[in-house]
Amino acid sequence: MPDTNVPSPPPLYAPHRKIYPRAVAGRVRSVKWAVLAVLLGLYYIVPWLRWDRGPGVPDQAVLADIGNARLFFFWIELWPQEIYFLTGFLILGAIGLFAATSLFGRVWCGFTCPQTVWTDLFMWVERRIEGDRNARMKRDAGSPSRDRTLRRIAKHAAWIVIAAATGGAWIMYFQDAPTVLWQMVTGAASVQTYFFFALFTLTTYVLAGFAREQVCTYMCPWPRFQGAMLDQDSLVVTYREWRGEPRGKLKEAGHGDCVDCGACVHVCPTGIDIRDGQQLECIGCGLCIDACDEVMGKLHRPQGLVAFETLANLAASTAAAARFAPGPERREAGMAARRRLHMIRPRTLMYAGVLSVVVAAMLGAFLLRDTLTLTALAERAPPYVRLSDGGIRNAYTLKLADKTRNEGNYTLSLDGPPGLQLVVQDVATDAAGRPVLPARPDGVATFRALVTAGPELAVDGRARLRFRLLDDQGRVAASGSSVFVGPHR
């Protein structure tokens, strides 16, 4: 027999319930609109920014040129082998996200996550066409009508247009924006372009139009572990229970400030009740704060029954307010017990530390980045060739990568056991007989070098070699190391 004293957990199965969030106005909503405008503006405008890099080079400021394997970001141009800068940037983003979360809770989820931003935009369109919460609920529950069908068609058409613009803009980060737009309009774009355009259009349409809060609740990993970044001093959206309870009708005496109007629930984009406490589903968007503030304003009670608040303050207020009956004294006692936001704490200091280390590492790596690199690859079939006089010859593939777009000739010298002879096939030599390698602007020039040890030179097994590339002033511009292999004696 199961132990009936243990309270049963909530059921694992929950049928999907459609959510009809009500429109709301207020401070948080205004901030959210502003953030939305800035982020969407950036997203759609950035591909159109131009940046002159000279002839033969794309003039798009931000471009991941997959075809030519170059990443352009204003004055920065990265090669595929420097993708670690992108990795570093993502690490930076992740730690920044951790730091922001430990300070201000789920600001990323509630304000800046693309899922939230596009869902907000889609909901705005929905309200324009189908009306607010009540109108939509009524129409959905009613019988099919011409009006309902037309509105639905209009809504989905508008959504698809936005989704197409979103998918189209995404393509433009990977191909020259004006060119690819014209190609897509005239049908000249590649099949891949259309595929990814359709893919991102479809995902935007489905995720922002239908999946919405289910993405946050069921698909996104971030809500699962972001709790690890939160602590008692992080700002989270909370209901000040000490002030609101017991909730009840305005006219009846003995109640707290919450009049149980349900406004906070009706505006919630994930359909939860903030008064139930901290919940996985809460994305911290703060719209319930606006909704409650509006109601409190009408009732001439102080705003902030639902607010961005730390759990430490909430506990302090609860303790201080416990002695009082509902009313102004309880409110004041609770609010007076609050402390200032405790921003500097071991956790945030640690995040700041890691953040500055990563920034310093990336900055250092970027400033010390080589624009000319020499790689020497020893040929392995055969590892060495025996010559008729008993000497040993090794062959190397030299790869000279020049990340600049300037012509340049470099003299090659060899640093290794004395007496080795260096020949590079198909290049000229300078007055001293040293090979002169022409670099390929914005490209990799490949050469084949032959290094010969005469019979008198006893190379046993292997010896270290270093190829040095000298510029016209004789300074070492790049170098690459390899080994010289011979038979074991």
Partner 1 sequence: MAAKPETDAVSGVVTTGHEWDGIKELDNPMPSWWIYTFYACIAFAAVWVVLYPSLPFVRGVLGYTARKDFAGTMEVQQARAEPMLARMRAATPAAIAADPELRPYALAGGRIAFATNCAGCHGSGGQGAPGGFPSLADDDWLYGGTFDAIHTTISVGVRNGENPDARGVQMPAFAAAGLNMTQIGDLAEHVLSLSGGATDPAAATRGAALFAENCVVCHGERGEGSRELGSPRLNDHIWLYGGDKASIIRTTAYARAGVMPTWASRLDPATINMLTVYVHALGGGEQ
Match 């009524």 to its residue by tokens: 138
Q: Whose Cβ is closer to partner 1: residue 369's or residue 386's?
A: 386
Q: Whose Cβ is closer to partner 1: residue 83's or residue 428's?
A: 428
Match 């205004």 to its residue by tokens: 30
Minimum distance from residue 485 beta carbon to partner 1 (Å): 13
162 neighbors 204 (Cβ within 8 angstroms): yes
Q: Whose Cβ is closer to partner 1: residue 11's or residue 56's?
A: 11
Burial class (CB in 10 A: 0-12, 13-18, 19+), 121: middle
Instruction: Give me Rg for the CA atoms of the chain.
Output: 33
Minimum distance from residue 383 beta carbon to partner 1 (Å): 9
Minimum distance from residue 387 beta carbon to partner 1 (Å): 5
Minimum distance from residue 351 beta carbon to partner 1 (Å): 42
> Can you tell me the distance from the alpha carbon of 247 to that of 45, in angstroms, rounded to the nearest whole number?
48
Minimum distance from residue 217 beta carbon to partner 1 (Å): 18
Minimum distance from residue 55 beta carbon to partner 1 (Å): 23
Residue 326 has a CB neighbour count (10 Å cut-off) of 21
168 neighbors 175 (Cβ within 8 angstroms): no
Q: Whose Cβ is closer to partner 1: residue 15's or residue 433's?
A: 15
Q: Which of 78, 41, 72 is nearest to 58 (CA)?
A: 72
Give the DSSP letter of residue 431.
T
Q: Whose Cβ is closer to partner 1: residue 12's or residue 141's?
A: 12
Q: Whose Cβ is closer to partner 1: residue 4's or residue 186's?
A: 4
Paired tokens of 449: 């070098």
**Between vectors from CA 244 to CA 241 and to CA 248, what angle results, nearest 5°?**
130
DSSP for 369-395, written as a single string: --SEEEEEEE--SSS-EE-TTS-EEEE
Q: Whose Cβ is closer to partner 1: residue 12's or residue 367's?
A: 12
Minimum distance from residue 8 beta carbon to partner 1 (Å): 10
> Can you tell me the distance from the alpha carbon of 369 to that of 375, in angstroms, rounded to the nearest whole number?
15
Q: Whose Cβ is closer to partner 1: residue 383's or residue 408's?
A: 383
Minimum distance from residue 14 beta carbon to partner 1 (Å): 9
Burial class (CB in 10 A: 0-12, 13-18, 19+), 156: middle
Give the DSSP letter of residue 281.
T
Q: Whose Cβ is closer to partner 1: residue 345's or residue 393's?
A: 393
Q: Are strands 372-378 and 392-402 parallel, antiparallel or unpaired?
A: antiparallel
Burial class (CB in 10 A: 0-12, 13-18, 19+), 396: buried
Q: Whose Cβ is closer to partner 1: residue 305's or residue 395's?
A: 395
45 neighbors 61 (Cβ within 8 angstroms): no
Residue 386 pairs in a beta bridge with 392
> Can you tell me the distance from the alpha carbon of 338 to that of 310, in angstroms, rounded to the nearest whole number?
9
164 neighbors 44 (Cβ within 8 angstroms): no
Residue 259 has a CB neighbour count (10 Å cut-off) of 22
Q: Which of 164, 160, 154, 147 is nearest to 129 (CA)?
A: 154
Minimum distance from residue 454 beta carbon to partner 1 (Å): 12
Which residues lie near partner 1 (CB under 8 A)?
A: 11, 13, 15, 379-382, 385-390, 393, 395, 425-426, 448, 450, 455
- Is residue 93 helix, strand or coil? helix
Minimum distance from residue 207 beta carbon to partner 1 (Å): 15
Q: Whose Cβ is closer to partner 1: residue 55's or residue 433's?
A: 433
Minimum distance from residue 409 beta carbon to partner 1 (Å): 16
Q: Whose Cβ is closer to partner 1: residue 382's or residue 443's?
A: 382
Give the DSSP letter of residue 282.
-
Minimum distance from residue 11 beta carbon to partner 1 (Å): 5
Residue 236 pairs in a beta bridge with 309
